[in-house]
Amino acid sequence: MKKLWGGRFSESADSFAEEFGASISFDQRLAPYDIQGSIAHATMLGEQGIIPKSDATLIIDGLKKVQEKLERNELQFRLQDEDIHMNIERHLTELIGPVAGKLHTARSRNDQVATDFHLFVRDALCAIVESIGGLQGSLIEQAKQHRDTIMPGYTHLQRAQPILFAQHLLAYVSMLQRDIGRAQDLWKRVNILPLGAGALAGTTFPINRLRVAELLKFDGVYENSMDAVSDRDFVVEFLSLTSISMMHLSRLCEEIVLWTSGEFGFIELHDSLSTGSSIMPQKKNADFAELVRGKTGRVYGSLVSILTTLKGLPLTYNKDMQEDKEGTFDAYDTLIGSLRVVEAMVRTWKVHSASMRRAAEGGFTNATDAADYLAKKGLPFRDAHEVAGKLVGFCIENEKTLLELSLNDYKKFSPLFEDDILEALSLEAVVNRRTSRGGTAGQSIHMQLELVETAAQANRAWLAALTG
């Protein structure tokens, strides 16, 4: 196919340079969006009388046939056609002849590719929200099953205070809900139409940009044509979203790696989501959790790459912007794949509740409550803290837990201790006293479950409103 821009040139491009500059190897992924945008553009051109309605109809019918071929995997993309736009136009020309050339009236590849990319990111946001919702659902179900499972909570990876396993899982549900919130907020800036901006300055044709926005279900249009073709803020935000989401998954996967180790023994992954060793027959490795953890850096790299690419670009379109797509596609695929594998791990893991409880019992996780006990008796908390610390030291020297001490042992450290101290320091009592909103007590967990399930319903309603 003759180059769309070839009239200015007397010699063809060097073959190596042509290959170096082509984007079809990756932007063919935009084919369905390019066709979608072109159908809307052709519809508007016909309605506005910019091209004859009969030509518009012929173009639209041809594009629909190209779409059918694409769905049957029958389209062949050629390097010499450079990008997805010219490849689609070539296929359209082969079907309907020279009339296909009228499709490019009143638009540039600059606003065309921006439109394609907006459409892609828009769909990607919906898919991400749906996949995050799936992981949230599995975490919520596990939390419901483990409302009474006590485990140690950690700070500095040291046993800190006893908590419910449900509380730990719901923390990740909350993290993921913020990711959904970011996606929903980003939608407002993604769902703006750049088409009609032309190369940078608009067009002399009497186009109706709002009609195209209506056909493509955009909420509005860019009001500055130069901004329309040069804006990639939405890509930066999208990659920020994928990076933050991957960071959350990586944190959970790090805990899965720890929890499956012999040192913790809190959970066991399903065989189908584990691997073995080629030399050590006893091994059962959390390889997929490790891989998600590793892939997080890859997604971060895409974010840093686009920020670096954009930081020195003058207005408006520059070829550097071609580098926005591969990283975005890869980050999206990586996040969706990671969400899927983590959801499967959570849904199918086996929880060793007894091991969790033993860990909570053995780490003086109730020491804070010994200090709280004295503070409620009137002893200043700093003094109570010191007494509790000395109790822990005494236990370590005598290889006992706080629950194994006698009342006489306690009274050696403070006369304020009474015969209810052992009951007060039981793990159940320690957990269920934390009734503050968001705390780990059973009644608080009940409230948290209600809140996250309400949020999940709202997420599904948001998706349904957009996707029908």
The string of pLDDT tens digits covering residues 430-448 is: 999 999 999 999 999 999 9
Query: How many other CB atoms are found less than 10 A from the CB of residue 149?
Result: 23
What is the spatial distance between Cα 270 and Cα 95, in angstroms, rounded to a whole number? 52
What pLDDT is attached to residue 156?
Answer: 96
Q: Are 302 and 334 in contact (CB under 8 A)?
A: no
**What single-letter DSSP state applies at residue 371?**
H
Cα–Cα nearest to 145, from 349, 338, 344, 343? 349
The domains of the chain are located at 13-105, 110-203+223-358+448-467
10 given a catalytic annotation: no
CATH annotation of 110-203+223-358+448-467: 1.20.200.10
Question: 193: helix, coil or strand?
Answer: strand
**What single-letter DSSP state applies at residue 315?**
S
User: How many Cα atoms sit within 13 Å of 374 on the Cβ side?
Assistant: 23
Marked catalytic residue, from 12, 25, 277, 406: 277
Task: Tell the burial category of 17 from Cβ atoms under 10 Å away from its Cβ (0-12, 13-18, 19+).
Answer: exposed
Task: Tell the burial category of 158 from Cβ atoms under 10 Å away from its Cβ (0-12, 13-18, 19+).
Answer: exposed
State the pLDDT confidence band at 11, using cuts at 50, 70 and 90.
Answer: low
What pLDDT is attached to residue 53?
Answer: 98
Biggest CA-to-CA distance, the chain: 101
State the pLDDT confidence band at 14, using cuts at 50, 70 and 90.
Answer: low
Marked catalytic residue, from 10, 156, 272, 278: 156
State the pLDDT confidence band at 130, using cuts at 50, 70 and 90.
Answer: very high
What is the spatial distance between Cα 428 and Cα 160, in angstroms, rounded to a whole number? 15
Assess whether pLDDT exceeds 90 at residue 45: yes
For 437, the token pair is 């909103």
CA torsion, ordered 406, 412, 415, 420, to nearest 10 deg? -10
What is the spatial distance between Cα 289 and Cα 296, in angstroms, rounded to a whole number? 11
- Least confident segment among 19-28, 163-172, 214-223: 19-28
Q: Pairing state of beta strands 220-221 and 158-164?
A: unpaired
Mean pLDDT within 82-103: 95
Mean pLDDT within 362-370: 93
Mean confidence (pLDDT) of the chain = 94
State the pLDDT confidence band at 3, using cuts at 50, 70 and 90.
Answer: low
Assess whether pLDDT exceeds 80 at residue 163: yes
Is the bond leading into 316 cis (omega within 30 degrees of zero)? yes
Which of the four CATH numbers 3.40.50.2300, 1.10.275.10, 2.40.30.10, 3.90.45.10 does domain 13-105 have? Answer: 1.10.275.10
Gap between the terminal Cα atoms of the chain: 39
State the pLDDT confidence band at 4, using cuts at 50, 70 and 90.
Answer: low
- Least confident segment among 117-126, 236-245, 319-328: 319-328
CA torsion, ordered 82, 85, 91, 92, to nearest 10 deg? -150
Question: 76: helix, coil or strand?
Answer: coil
Give the residue, 334 or 323, on which the prediction is more confident: 334
- Strands annotated E in 115-261: 150-155, 158-164, 192-193, 220-221
Cα 45 from chain centroid (whole Å): 38
**What single-letter DSSP state applies at residue 272?**
G
Contacts for 5 with CB less than 8 Å, ≥ 6 apart: none
277 given a catalytic annotation: yes
Mean pLDDT within 261-270: 96
What is the spatial distance between Cα 460 and Cα 468, in angstroms, rounded to a whole number? 11
Q: Are 129 and 459 in contact (CB under 8 A)?
A: yes
State the pLDDT confidence band at 12, using cuts at 50, 70 and 90.
Answer: low
Separate counts of helices (H) and strands (E) for the chain: 19, 6
Instruction: Report the percent of the chain where pLDDT is more than 90.
Output: 89
What pLDDT is attached to residue 79?
Answer: 86
State the pLDDT confidence band at 133, using cuts at 50, 70 and 90.
Answer: very high
Query: How many other CB atoms are found less than 10 A from the CB of residue 344?
Result: 18
What would the pLDDT profile of 218-257 be if each residue is shown by its tens digit?
999 999 999 999 999 999 999 999 999 999 999 999 999 9
| Angle between helical axes of 442-467 and 109-145 (0-180°, round to 10) | 150
What is the spatial distance between Cα 150 and Cα 141, in angstroms, rounded to a whole number? 17
What would the pLDDT profile of 267-308 be if each residue is shown by its tens digit?
999 999 988 878 888 888 999 999 999 999 999 999 999 999
Give 267's strand partners.
351
For 406, the token pair is 């006698």
Q: What is the pTM of this model?
A: 0.93
CA torsion, ordered 104, 105, 111, 113, to nearest 10 deg? -10
Assess whether pLDDT exceeds 80 at residue 86: yes
Q: Are 90 and 1 in contact (CB under 8 A)?
A: yes
What pLDDT is attached to residue 48?
Answer: 98
State the pLDDT confidence band at 9, using cuts at 50, 70 and 90.
Answer: low
